[in-house]
Amino acid sequence: MAIVPAFLSPSYLVLASIDRALITSINALIRQKSTRRLAYWSIGGITLFSLLFFSHIFVRVNIHELYPGVVLCFYDAGNYRTFVTYSGLILGNLLPPLFMGLFALVTLKNIRRIRIRPMNHNAPTINSHRFKDRQLAIMLLSEIFVYILCCSMLPIIQIYTQSTQYQTKNDRQQALEPFLYGLAYLLSFIPVSIHFYINLAVSKTFRQKTIQMLFQLCQSCSFQGNNHQGASVVITINKSTA
């Protein structure tokens, strides 16, 4: 069932890009559609859809013996394996970057419009909310850019592998294809592991909050250490007095 998390991860990023496109709109009616209720329903709906759509994998995966002593759980050969491969490729690798790029362009367009419009100095709270929304949008756009950059190679390799699986290949192709697939597969793990560093690099507010949190954590650890040391001194004095 590794295909389900692989599908859900970019799907949640697509939902986040849709939310940023809604919240950065200059139209108040469109901004009102970005609600917590809609987010809950969207996350629950996409999760339920993925579980139902890929539920057949539970009964169609069998144990295959690669060679004596080595077995692997994998899809049955034939049309079913082709269906699973292409459905996972389309839903998990092709459509998410397409929708991410589309809503990223909409978000960029909305941010430019917000910059052009004069700020309302009589409403500092509204301006503060808009600044936070713009910061979150920039952070999300950076994550989308890294995702598309790192994950665009894998579907290309998969399409090429599926389209040429019945062709005769020379030794160079047989050695190069697994290497490229392994490289693309490795790159696909980068976006989910560097979100923190991306946000730290692109957002000044995020950096300030992170430094503030680390400083408070250090202060708390130092305070607990001093209290522990003081308690030890008191216990030692009481023992010596007794």
pLDDT per position as a tens digit, 83-92: 877 887 888 7
Q: What percent of the chain has pLDDT over 90?
A: 4
Which range among 1-10, 183-192, 223-232 has the greatest average pLDDT?
Answer: 183-192
Q: Is residue 197 predicted with pLDDT exceeding 80?
A: yes
The confidence score (pLDDT) of residue 242 equals: 53
Average pLDDT for residues 210-214, to the nearest whole number? 88
Over residues 23-39, the pLDDT tens digits come to 888 888 888 888 889 98
pLDDT reported for residue 227: 60
Mean pLDDT of 207-213: 87
Instruction: Give tens-digit pLDDT for 174-190.
Output: 888 888 888 888 888 88
pLDDT-derived band at 59, boundaries 50, 70, 90:
confident
Does the pLDDT of residue 192 top 70, yes or no? yes
Rounded (10°) CA dihedral 202, 206, 211, 212: 160
Residues 6 or more apart in contact with residue 148 via CB below 8 angstroms: 97, 100, 101
Average pLDDT over residues 112-135: 63
How far lies 230's CA from each of 63, 219, 237, in Å?
A: 62, 16, 11
Q: Distances in Å between the alpha carbon of 210 and those of 145, 204, 223?
A: 23, 10, 20
pLDDT averaged over every residue in the chain: 78
Residue 195 in tokens:
């979100």
| Span 234-241, average pLDDT | 53
- Residue 118: pLDDT above 80? no
Into which CATH architecture does domain 3-202 fall?
Up-down Bundle (1.20)
Tell me the domain boundaries of the chain. Answer: 3-202, 203-242
Rounded Cα distance, 196 and 201, in Å: 9
pLDDT at residue 239 is higher than 60: no
pLDDT at 45: 93
pLDDT class of 205 with cuts at 50, 70, 90: confident
Joined tokens for residue 8: 């859900």
Q: Which residue has the higher pLDDT, 3 or 47?
A: 47
CA distance 75 to 90: 18
Q: What is the pLDDT of residues 128-160, one digit of tens each?
A: 666 777 777 788 888 888 888 888 888 888 788
Q: Amino acid letter at 113?
A: R
The pLDDT value recorded for residue 67 is: 63
Determine the Cα angle at 190 with ends 188 and 194, to 5°: 150
Sign, CA torsion 14/28/206/118: positive
Q: What is the 3-state secondary structure (H, E, C) of the chain?
A: CCHHHHHHHHHHHHHHHHHHHHHCCCCHHHHCCCCHHHHHHHHHHHHHHHHHHCCCHHHHEEEEEEECCEEEEEECCCHHHHHHHHHHHHHHHHHHHHHHHHHHHHHHHHHHHHHHCCCCCCCHHHHHHHHHHHHHHHHHHHHHHHHHHHHCHHHHHHHHHHHCCCCCCCHHHHHHHHHHHHHHHHHCCCHHHCHHHHHHHHCHHHHHHHHHHHHHHHHHHHHHHHHHHHHHHHHHHHHHHC
pLDDT at 66: 62
